[in-house]
Amino acid sequence: MTLVTAKALEKTYIAGDITVRAIRGVDFTIEPASFVSFVGPSGSGKSTLLNMIGCLDPPTSGFLEVAGQDVTHLSSKDSARFRGKHIGFIFQDFNLIPVLTVFENVEYPLQMVQNWPKEKRRKRVQELLKSVGMADQGAKYPNQISGGQKQRVAVARALVTNAKLVLADEPTANLDSKTSNRIIELMKDMRDEFGTTFIFSTHDPKVMKNAETIFTLEDGRWEGGKVEG
């Protein structure tokens, strides 16, 4: 059973008098526990595609199924619920909540989105912080840790809900190459440990080479189809 299925997926933006066809009828499938990269130049539609898979932006037309559910026409509230249950996000700028500690940032989706009981929540957060090597940094605030550590926390936050799918938009763009490699390695380890599918967009050739499957986009279409890494 595939985790993501897209058929004739399209996304069109209208900005004033200009109509931009960001995604032009792409078809693809992504299997569970895969490590996928969307690559392509700026404006090729990588982020738009990630946003549609992440139920942040509805498709203009076509069909999109994620984790066995048709997400083509979800309301904003249902999208939020679906994201909270099935999808984790890793952002380029880490996007940790500054008033929460590292522990609380990872705990946030369990507490504010999924209402897990306290004891279960704490146990799960500790497990995840240990897995990403941040177990001893839980009491620190985001401004007290490095960029690489922030991204580790973001990985833990994305995985803490047992998400089937983690979407990472340029996850290494704000990190040095050494840290970038560590983060990619960490994501791979997490994929191996939890069986989570990782889809990320990137420009970075060093990151691309770690991907097992690469989709190259140009002007909203696949360029040369899917490449198995």
Partner 1 sequence: MEGGKPSTFNLNNLYKFMFSIFNLAIRNLRRYKRRTLLTSVLITLGVVAVLLFVSVSGSFKAMMIGQITDSMLGHLQVHRKGYLASIDSLPLDRNLKGKQVAEVKEILEGNDAVEAYSMRIKLGAMFSNFSETTNIRLNAVNPKQEMQTVPMLIDRIIKGKKQGLLEKGEILVPELIAKGMKVKIGDTIVLVATNKDGSVNGQPFVVRGILEGISGPGGRDGLIHLDDARALLRIEDREVSEISIRLKSMGRMNEVLDQLKDRLGPIKDKMGKPVFEVHTWEKLSPFFNIAEMIDLMTFFIKIMLVAIVLVSIMNVMIMAVYERINEIGTMAAIGTVPGKILSLFMVEGFLLGIFGTLIGVVVSLITIAGMNTAKISFNFGRQKGLLLSPTIALSDVVTVAGIVIAIAVLASLQPAWKAARMDPITALRHV
CB within 8 Å of 123: residues ≥ 6 apart: none
- Cβ–Cβ under 8 Å, residues 211 and 229: yes
One-letter amino acid of 103? F
Q: Which residues bind partner 1 (CB under 8 A)?
A: 51, 54, 56-57, 76-77, 80-85, 87-89, 91, 93, 95, 97-100, 108-118, 120-121, 124, 127, 157, 161-162, 193-194
Neighbours of 47 (CB within 10 A): 20
Distances from the Cα of 37 to the Cαs of 104, 198, 204, in angstroms?
A: 29, 8, 11
Select 53 or 214, whichever has its Cβ closest to partner 1.
Answer: 53
Select 191 or 214, whichever has its Cβ closest to partner 1.
Answer: 191
Q: What angle do CA 180, 181, 186 make, to 5 degrees?
A: 100
Select 56 or 227, whichever has its Cβ closest to partner 1.
Answer: 56
Select 32 or 213, whichever has its Cβ closest to partner 1.
Answer: 32
> What is the 8-class DSSP label of residue 143?
G
